[in-house]
């Protein structure tokens, strides 16, 4: 499938790279971009070959600098609500994708860009990357889940500081706050992203899917019920081919080969 605003490229070992490709407008998001991301997620979800998804932005300035302000400036209140709901739906689908998704933030990740990155399973950032939810400067709130995911990732007080002030957070601070997993130089970011993706791609996809469900659903449960859910999915994992292969490989002192 060909796209106008994104690129979806298969790489070796089941790794796919999705690039938001609107560098002239710093990869800003509009309905067309969101629709194409949704189509890409359809393809990945239906693929038996996909093991890991990397998401980045075209050019060397921005991951995604935000939603397209020119587009938003023409929206009525009801159209604005519909735009937010559409973005929420697409980003939630990304969050629930059945393979690991890693954001490679190579520049500005502001507004919708920060929300896109936070919808991935975790973030790797270039040392020049900047994060933030500066919607307050436009007289609006975040619309694609930023107020909710940011508070869950870095805590309520710091999230509110960023939402109230609109300030940008540098990569090193984002690392210290727990928003980002690792920071690399601009030149190393893609290489390190593919290196980590290649390692993840060799592991049990079934175990990864179940672990993802445990973390996402368990964080909203009390500890007792979350642990019950873990016991249930632990038991479920014993019914899988990956469990049989993984344990056989361990006992036979060889590297497992997961389907």
Query: For 147-178, how does the pLDDT look when each residue is reduced to its tens digit (9 = 90+)?
Result: 999 999 999 999 999 999 999 999 999 999 99
Output the pLDDT for position 93.
97
| Catalytic pick among 85, 135, 230, 245 | 135
243 burial class (0-12, 13-18, 19+ CB within 10 angstroms)?
middle
Q: Where are the domains of the chain?
A: 6-201, 205-251
pLDDT at position 9 is: 95
Confidence at residue 178, expressed as pLDDT on a 0 to 100 scale: 97
- The predicted structure's pLDDT at residue 259: 83
Q: Architecture of domain 205-251 in CATH?
A: Orthogonal Bundle (1.10)
**Active-site annotation holder among 32, 36, 95, 115:** 115
pLDDT of the residue at 31:
95
pLDDT, position 27: 97
pLDDT at 2: 85
Q: Which residues of the chain have pLDDT under 50?
A: none
95 is catalytic: no
pLDDT of residue 47: 93
Query: What pLDDT, on a 0 to 100 scale, did the predictor assign at position 13?
Result: 86
Q: Is 35 a catalytic residue?
A: no
Taking only the tens place, the pLDDT of each residue in 210-251 is: 999 999 999 999 999 999 999 999 999 999 999 999 999 999
Architecture of domain 6-201: Alpha-Beta Complex (3.90)
Work out the widest C-alpha separation in the chain, in whole angstroms: 64
What pLDDT, on a 0 to 100 scale, did the predictor assign at position 215?
A: 96
pLDDT at 114: 98
């Amino acid at each position: 499938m060909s796209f106008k605003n994104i690129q979806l490229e298969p790489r070796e070992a089941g790794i796919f790279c999705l690039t938001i490709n609107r560098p002239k407008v710093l990869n800003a998001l509009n309905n067309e971009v969101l629709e194409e991301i949704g189509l890409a997620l359809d393809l990945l979800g239906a693929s038996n070959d996909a093991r890991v998804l990397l998401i980045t932005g075209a050019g060397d300035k921005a991951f995604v600098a935000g939603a397209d302000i020119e587009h938003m400036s023409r929206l009525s209140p009801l159209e604005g609500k519909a735009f937010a709901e559409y973005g929420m739906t697409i980003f939630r689908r990304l969050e629930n994708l059945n393979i690991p998704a890693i954001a490679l933030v190579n520049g500005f990740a502001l507004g919708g860009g920060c929300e896109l990155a936070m919808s991935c399973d975790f973030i790797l950032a270039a040392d020049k990357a900047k994060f933030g939810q500066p919607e307050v400067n436009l007289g609006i709130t975040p619309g694609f889940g930023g107020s909710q995911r940011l508070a869950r990732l870095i805590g309520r007080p710091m999230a509110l500081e960023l939402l109230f002030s609109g300030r940008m957070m540098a990569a090193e601070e984002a690392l210290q706050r727990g928003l980002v997993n690792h920071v690399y130089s601009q030149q190393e970011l893609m290489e390190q992203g593919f290196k980590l993706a290649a390692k993840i791609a060799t592991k049990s996809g079934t175990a990864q899917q179940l672990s993802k469900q445990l973390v996402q659903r368990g964080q909203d449960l009390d500890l007792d019920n979350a642990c019950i859910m873990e016991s249930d999915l632990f038991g479920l994992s014993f019914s899988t081919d990956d469990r049989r292969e993984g344990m056989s490989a361990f006992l036979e002192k060889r590297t497992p080969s997961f389907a």
